Structure 1
Amino acid sequence: MRKKTRQIHVGNVAIGGDAPIAVQSMTTTYTRDVASTVAQIHRLEEVGCELVRVAVPEMEDAVVLSEIKRQIHIPLIADIHYNPLLALEAIKQGIDKVRINPGNLLQGRKSLEQIVLAAKERDVAMRIGVNSGSIDAIDKVAQMQRVQVRLRDDGTLERSDPAEARRKERDHLAERMVTKALEYISWCEELDYHNLDVSLKSSTVLTAVEAYRRFSERSDYPLHLGITEAGTLVAGSVKSALGMGLLLADGIGDTLRVSLSAEPEEEIPVAYEILRSLELRNRGVTFVSCPSCGRVEIDVVGVANEVEKRLTKVQTPIQVAVMGCVVNGPGESRDADVGLAGGKGKGVIFRKGEPVRTVPEDQFLDAVLKEVASLLPEHEARLVYPEGGIKEIAGTHRTRDEGRNIPILQK
């Protein structure tokens, strides 16, 4: 059961309550470069981003926010650190939400109160972000925990437990994060401002999970989930899926961002895959493909990757399977809306559980995408299967006799 938090609105997107868990990302451009920033936001919109945050490190970035907002279609969030004047200018520019960490604002509480009054006047939402690295007393280089052994008076050896020491440190840090967040919230409430949500991020998964769980027990403000500085595409996706998955399975979380050292457009499919896997959102393609193994006689990896890449802009819920052998292929393909069960030289295309035709190997990509397009609204169908069809031939076939791959990719 998902925890029922109080609901706020960021532009036209509802956060908390019974609203769907919203997916967010952040631009990597210099915000003052309006053309580049808008172009990146448009790419994010195409793959399903519902809220976008931009960095505002200097006044040159703040004064162009209204121009950016006029050209995009999703709520705009300004990310502010240190200088409260940047937040005040961003609010004046008409942003939908401001993200601040009160702990690093110059003049602390006084600055926060100025921002709160401006946000309250213009009905702008706020995210209070507390990161583990920003807790001052914990801002130190972590010491590697080693097993320590000492001889007791009775002659026995006593060993330390590094895992237990790390757990205690995590608990202490998480508690401090929650205490700070609740303190900042109380400052806002004293000004009768409640239009806010909270994040308690850490690059350490278990620290973030513990902080979010503790906060959720004590407050009904909506929570934005994230594992900050999670890493590259693979490492960051795994850490984000693990941390957010634990929380979402507990019913905790109202918005989320998968933070990756990658193009922001790559964050969105990962976020939706986490939500789909927990049956919390039903947007876009549920993709099933088999691992390549010794039974496979097609380039299932190549075909699957190409199909998945071409379906990233699809928002209609649909299940697609690309399978490469006779053991699991027919069953999984029948369970999907569109499925391919491939074998050496040819494969069967399934639609809603029924085989519709057999196609040669060099037409796998065209046949799958054409069948998917037939189930989509017209505007999405054109993105998946353009006029004239798919010209590239996907993949290679594998031969057990020769023990090598034979490329068949051509224009």
Structure 2
Amino acid sequence: MSLNAVRPWRNIYRRKSRQIHVGSVPVGGDAPISVQTMTNTDTSDVAATVAQIRAAADAGADIVRVSAPDQAATKALHRIVAESPVPIVADIHFHYKRAIEAAEAGAACLRINPGNIGDAARVKEVIRAARDHGCSIRIGVNAGSLERHLPEKYGEPCPEAMVESGLEHIRILQDNDFHEFKISVKASDVFLAAAAYQGLADATDAPIHLGITEAGGLTSGTIKSAIGMGNLLWMGIGDTIRVSLSADPVEEVKVGFEILKALGLRHRGVNIISCPSCARQGFDVICTVEKLEKRLEHIKTPMSLSIIGCVVNGPGEALMTDLGFTGGGAGSGMVYMAGKQSHKLSNDQMIEHIAELVEQRAEELERQAAAETAAEAEAAAAGQAAE
């Protein structure tokens, strides 16, 4: 029985939304919340851009956005799309023709900003290109680039203005019988973004792309994004997310998964539960966790590992994790497996031994998952044969 079944206070009830596709990735409906990032290379540099896309995909990115500011960029998209392991979203600003070129180049989705893409006629041309080439569209409303009449109407960027902008452009797409779209209403102000997203969630069933734009550097931006997006996700709002950091795109992906992991919405890799350390620690907790995080980056299978410096909380935390190590003094500690004491281990052997145990456990879980999948497929085939 899952923890959610016996502890209902853990449950998050996701907002019901329509499902669309960004290439092969479903967004909305009952699909897992997808994690996105964006390249920061010169798009016309195909090799550098593809290398960054692959690094992001290896970190878990489901979708990657690439800026298409000029013809050189949209020309490069042909090769980028062909070499990318994940669907590519073309980021379009100002030049609607770049959106058409991006669709022709094979982009899976076109991100357009209603405030600066042009009039309704130009948006219609983009819609036509998206339909002709099987693209979805993201309506990307941003507090800093609203259509001129909205700040004039409301006096300043506000949640009502952002939602109105989004709904106006939803109507344009729907009036043209185009429904493969998702929408975002981003702001760098956490309160403004949260209020706008709540209003949007009440006003449409379109899938929602979640983000706090221009959040800042790695530390400050992570905190800002976790507060803003974390609260919205807790409320059930959000079908795909992008953490916007002034940092390597891989870091955006890592933070995105950590936010989802903390809320129990999606799991990937090893979730290390560790103490902040104190004078009671039986080993250097901080150094150990840093080394284990790097050593275990290659593990994709969801699992949990507790690394606790002493016996105050160590045994209790180990009860709830797949593997655990608790410091016990005298240069050694106790290894826990599935919540039970397993064996003592010297501190100087700890990192490599624990890493090996994690790898073994990951292999076991992967075998179990493969066997369950095979059993389900066999049962389904048997059912079809019986019909």
Report TM bin, short chain: 0.7 to 0.9
Q: Distance in 2 between matches of 1:92 and 1:310?
A: 42
Does the CA contact (< 8 Å) of 2:314 and 2:325 recur in 1?
yes
Distance in 2 between the 1:169 and 1:206 partners?
A: 17
In structure 1, give the amino acid aligned to 2:305.
Answer: V
Q: CA deviation at 1:139?
A: 11
User: 1:267 offset after TM fit, Å?
Assistant: 1.4
Quote the offset at 1:138 in angstroms.
10
Matched, 1:26 2:12: no
Normalising by structure 2, we get a TM-score of 0.86
Q: How many residues align?
A: 352
Q: Is the 8 A contact 1:16 1:254 kept in 2?
A: yes
Aligned equivalent of 1:276, options 261, 267, 271? 261
TM-aligned CA deviation for residue 16 of structure 1: 0.7
Q: State the match for 1:334 in structure 2.
A: 319
- Deviating 4+ runs (over 4 angstroms): 136-140, 378-381
Q: Is the 8 A contact 1:133 1:139 kept in 2?
A: no
Cα distance per residue 1:366-393 (max 9 Å; x no partner): 0110110111239999xxxxxxxxxxxx
What is the alpha-carbon distance in structure 1 between the residues aligned to residue 231 and residue 364 of structure 2? 38
Following TM superposition, by how much is the alpha carbon of 1:329 offset from its aligned partner in structure 2, in angstroms?
1.6
- In structure 2, the residue matched to 1:296 is 281
Rounded Cα–Cα distance in structure 1 between residues aligned with 2:344 and 2:182: 53
Following superposition, the deviation at residue 204 of structure 1 comes to 0.5
Give how far 1:99 is off.
0.4
| Partner residue, 2:211 | 226
2:344 to 358, 362, 369: 358
- CA offsets, 1:115-141, max 9 Å, x none? 01110112200001011111256999x
Deviations 1:83-115 (A, max 9, x none): 11111111000110010102112x422221110
**TM-score computed with the length of structure 1 as normaliser:** 0.81
Q: What corresponds to 2:84 in structure 1?
A: 72
Q: Is the 8 A contact 2:184 2:208 kept in 1?
A: yes
Q: For the structure 1 residues 233 and 194, does the alpha-carbon distance in structure 2 shift closer, same or farther, using more than 3 Å as the test? A: same
Cα distance, 1:188 vs. partner? 1.2
Choose from 16, 32, 36 the match for 1:4.
16
Rounded Cα–Cα distance in structure 2 between residues aligned with 1:284 and 1:169: 47
Alignment pair present for 1:316 and 2:301: yes
Rg larger in 1 or in 2?
A: 1
Q: Is the 8 A contact 2:150 2:161 kept in 1?
A: no
Gapped runs of 5+ residues in structure 1? 141-167, 382-411
179, 188, 204: which one pairs with 1:203? 188
Query: Which residue among 25, 29, 35 is the counterpart of 1:17?
Result: 29
Supply the distance in 2 between the matched residues of 1:264 and 1:378 (Cα, whole angstroms).
31
Equivalent in the alignment of 1:175? 160
* SS at 1:228 equivalent: coil
2:119 corresponds in structure 1 to 108
Superposed counterparts of 1:142-221, under 5 Å: 173-221=158-206
Counterpart AA for 1:122: H
1:27-55 deviations in whole A, cap 9, x for unaligned?
A: 11111111111111111111111000011
Query: Whole-Å Cα distance in 1 between the matches of residues 105 and 295 of structure 2?
Result: 37
User: Which amino acid in structure 1 is aligned with residue 206 of structure 2?
Assistant: Y
Residues in 2 aligned to 1:223 and 1:310: alpha-carbon distance in whole angstroms: 35
Q: Judge conservation of contact 1:65–1:94 (CA < 8 Å) in 2.
A: yes
Give the corresponding residue for 1:393. none
Partner of 1:123: 134
Q: Give the C-alpha shift of residue 201 in structure 1.
A: 0.4
Q: How far off is 1:309 after superposition?
A: 2.7
Cα gap change, 1:322/1:138 in structure 2, threshold over 3 Å: closer, same or farther?
farther
Residue 315 of structure 1 deviates from its aligned partner by: 2.2
Question: Post-superposition shift, 1:256?
Answer: 0.3
Q: Within 1, Cα distance between the matches of 2:363 and 2:127?
A: 43
**Conserved 8 A contact 1:196-1:221:** yes
Residue aligned with 1:283, SS: coil
CA distance in 1, matches of 2:24, 2:232: 26
Amino acid aligned to 2:136: A
Amino acid at match of 2:82: R
Structure 1 position 49 matched with structure 2 position 35: no
Separation of aligned partners in 1, 2:149 and 2:158? 7
Paired with 2:295 and 2:254, the residues of 1 have a C-alpha distance of 12
Question: 2:109: which partner in 1?
Answer: 97
* Maintained 8 Å contact 1:202/1:227: yes
Maintained 8 Å contact 1:56/1:78: yes
1:108–1:270 distance in 2 versus 1, CA, 3 Å? same
Q: CA RMSD in A?
A: 2.2
C-alpha spacing 1:330/1:135, structure 2 compared with 1 (3 Å): same
Q: 1:38 aligns with which of 39, 50, 53?
A: 50
Structure-1 separation of matches of 2:334 and 2:282: 14
Contact 2:114 2:165 (8 Å CA) reproduced: no
3-state SS, counterpart of residue 296 of structure 1: coil
- Structure 2 unpaired stretches of 5+: 1-12, 368-387
Report sequence identity in percent: 44
Specify the alignment match of 1:252 in structure 2.
237
Report if aligned partners of 2:59, 2:254 keep a CA contact under 8 Å in 1.
yes
- Equivalence for 1:149: none
8 Å CA contact 1:373, 1:380 repeated in 2: no
In structure 2, distance between residues paired with 1:119 and 1:303:
50
